[in-house]
Every structure is written in structure tokens, then in C-alpha cells.
Amino acid sequence: MSKAYTVYVLMFAAAIGGLWVVLTLGKAAKAPDDLSGEWTMKWDVPPLPEFKDGPMRVSQSGRYFVVRFGAAPGIGFTLQPEWHGARDGRILQMKLHGEGWMMYLHGDIPLGERPKIGEMTVILLGPIHLTGTAQRVGVEPTTRAAGMAHAR
């Protein structure tokens, strides 16, 4: 066999091996559940005035979130590892860190091909401590959001 055929066979084997590695590692990767949109907040205690007026708006790009409460400026968050979502079962459990704040999110994930969470518990820790229930505008909640005492 000539050198050209040997190089051709080796390149083909390397391409097949590389494709196998990409497919194997890609299968383990998972995208965070989509929480983007507008949410109506029901706080357990009266929040600051700028958090009170208006809904919670969530912008999301993968594991990066920007959350706006009412008239307050947006807070940038990053999803922390070891979160649980639709790919793991029927419970959403996320911990977000960012800019002096931490946010814990917990809720039930409805059944369906493309489940959209309709309600979740929100715990916001930072300069103030707030807890409440968020309901997605335009999505019917499937069950009540569960408590999050164990998430801390």
C-alpha cells in the first residue's frame, strides 16, 4: 500500500473517532430550561417599591440570565452547576449567582414534549431577602410551586 493510501485511511479513522467523541460528549450536555419571559410576582412580604411595581422579566441566553423586577435595573445572573430541569425529571431546581445577589428557583415541570414551567418559588438573597411565587404570564400553572427550605 502506498503512503497516500495509508494517510487517507488514517485521516478517515481520525475523522470517525472525532465524530464519535463529539457525539458521546454532546449526549451528556444539557441546555437549561427556558425561563425567559414575563412573570407575575406574589411576594410573601412587601418588597422595595422598585421591586413592587410591575412583573419580573427574565431574559436568558443559555446559562446567563438578566432579571428585572418592576422598575428596578436588571440583575445579571449565571446558572450554577448541578441544577435540575426537565431532562432530569419533573422538578426545576436552579441556583443563580450574580452582582451581589443569589436567586433560588424551584417548581414543578409539567408533562409534555416542550414543557413550559408556569409557576415557581423564587428566593432572592442580597441586600434584601425576599421570597415569593412567580407565575408565567400566559401559561397556566400545573401545580403549586413547592417550598425551597432544602435548597439553601
DSSP string, 12-62: HHHHHHHHHHHHHHHHH--PPP---EEEEEEESS---HHHHSS-EEEEEET
Q: Tell me the three cell numbers of residue 130.
A: 425576599
- Please report which residue ranges of 29-147 form alpha helices under DSSP H: 49-52
pLDDT at 145: 43
Signed CA dihedral, 109, 114, 119, 123: sign only: positive
**Domain coordinates in residue numbering, the chain:** 1-30, 37-151
Q: Tell me the three cell numbers of residue 51.
A: 421591586
Tens digits of pLDDT across the chain (152 residues): 688 888 888 888 888 988 888 877 766 667 888 899 999 999 888 877 777 767 999 999 999 999 998 888 899 999 999 999 888 888 999 999 998 999 999 999 888 766 688 899 999 999 889 899 999 988 776 654 434 434 44
pLDDT at 141: 63
